[in-house]
Amino acid sequence: MLHVWLVRHTIEYIKSKPYGNKVLEKVKDEISEVKDITYKYSLKDRKKIIEDNKKNTVRHTYYHEYRALQRLCILILQNENHQIGFGNRKVYGILFDGAWL
C-alpha cells in the first residue's frame, strides 16, 4: 500500500503544475481508482512517503516493472532533472500504465 501513496502524491504534484491537467487528462479512470484507494490523502505526508519509498524499494522480481515507476515518481516528487534520452533523443512526456497496481 505504501507504493500506491507514492503514485497518489505524484498525481497531485503533477496536477499542481500548469500543464498538469493536460498531462493527466487521458488517465482519468486510473486516477479515480488511485484516489478511491487513497481517500485519506494529505499533502503533509509527502516527505515521509518519499523517504519510506526510498528506503523500501521494490526488490521482488514479480514487481520488477513497478520499480521503474517507483523511481520515476520519486524523481518527479523531488523535482530533480531527469536524464532520460541523450543527444537527439528527446522526451516530450511521460506515460505509465498503472492498471496492474
Q: Who has greater pLDDT, 17 or 82?
A: 17
Which residue range forms the structural domain that includes residue 17?
Answer: 2-77
20 neighbors 12 (Cβ within 8 angstroms): no
In a domain, 100, yes or no: no
- What is the average pLDDT across 52-70? 85
The answer to whether residue 87 sits within a structural domain is no
Range list of H helices, 1-101: 2-15, 20-24, 28-37, 46-55, 64-77
Chain segment 2-22, per-residue pLDDT in tens = 678 999 999 999 999 888 888
In a domain, 14, yes or no: yes
Based on the structure, what is the number of domains in the chain?
A: 1
Q: What pTM does this model have?
A: 0.73
Q: Is residue 82 part of a domain?
A: no
Q: What angle, rounded to 10 degrees, do the helices at 2-15 and 46-55 form?
A: 130
